[in-house]
Amino acid sequence: MFLPYSLAIVSGYEAAIQTVSSGALDKAADAGQHIMDHLSLWQLHAANAVLYLCATPIQFLPSVRKRSLPLHRASGYLFLSTGTVLAFSGLIMAPLSEFPGFVPPSVALAVIWVLFGGVAMWKIKKKRVQEHREWMVRVAAAGYSVILTRPLVIAVHLVSGLSHRAAGQSATWLSLLIMVAGTEMYIQSRHRLDSNV
């Protein structure tokens, strides 16, 4: 779902951008206009999102890590560098977003992403491989919370009756909470499984 959304923005085709905008769900006359007004910024962000989405599965496939460490490392650097661009371009884009109140969750996400990514890099430089993997899972979850936001906008709209645009801030906080908390639960469950072996 998110890849076609990103590709529509990269294309710069206005009709496609209007279709993928949350404003389109509200049948807003200005759907997608916030993107068209700052198209180069949105295209930079979306192009990095496409690379990020492609690098992530390669980074986390155990078979790649075992058979081709150089590919694993290259995908990791691509994952972290594109994610960093996404974090900072997202901060610039937040006040331009169609979601009111999008700046606070965007700042939180950028800080979490850069912090988690920095810790993941530090752990691998110290050769603490297992801890590095756990931090990479955390940083991926934080990044993918943006993807979860899209369906949660619809869910918050259905439950609360807010417009899709107005649901954006709540959906963003909720997705970040779900992904970060869910990841910690996953990591802790893996620790319990490993301690029982």
Give the pLDDT confidence of 4-35 residue by residue, as tens digits: 878 888 888 888 888 877 777 778 788 788 88
Residues of the chain above pLDDT 90, percent: 66
Residues of the chain above pLDDT 70, percent: 99
Judged against a pLDDT cut of 70, whether residue 91 lies above it is answered with yes
Burial (CB count within 10 angstroms: exposed 0-12, middle 13-18, buried 19+), residue 53? middle
> Average model confidence (pLDDT) for the chain?
90
Judged against a pLDDT cut of 80, whether residue 66 lies above it is answered with yes
pLDDT band at 95 (very low <50, low <70, confident <90, very high): very high
Q: What are 41-59's pLDDT values in tens digits?
A: 999 999 999 999 999 999 9
Arithmetic mean of pLDDT, 135-155: 93
Q: Count structural domains, the chain.
A: 1
Question: Can you give the three-state secondary structure of the chain, one letter per residue?
Answer: CHHHHHHHHHHCCHHHHHHHCHHHHCCCCCCCHHHHCCHHHHHHHHHHHHHHHHHHHHHHCHHHHHHCHHHHHHHHHHHHHHHHHHHHHHHHHHHHCCCCCCHHHHHHHHHHHHHHHHHHHHHHHCCCHHHHHHHHHHHHHHHHHHHHHHHHHHHHHHHHCCCCCCCHHHHHHHHHHHHHHHHHHHHHHHHHHHHHC
What's the pLDDT at 7? 86
Arithmetic mean of pLDDT, 84-110: 91
pLDDT band at 197 (very low <50, low <70, confident <90, very high): low
Domain that holds residue 174: 2-196
End-to-end CA distance of the chain: 38
Arithmetic mean of pLDDT, 147-157: 91
Judged against a pLDDT cut of 70, whether residue 68 lies above it is answered with yes
What's the pLDDT at 9? 86
What's the pLDDT at 33? 87
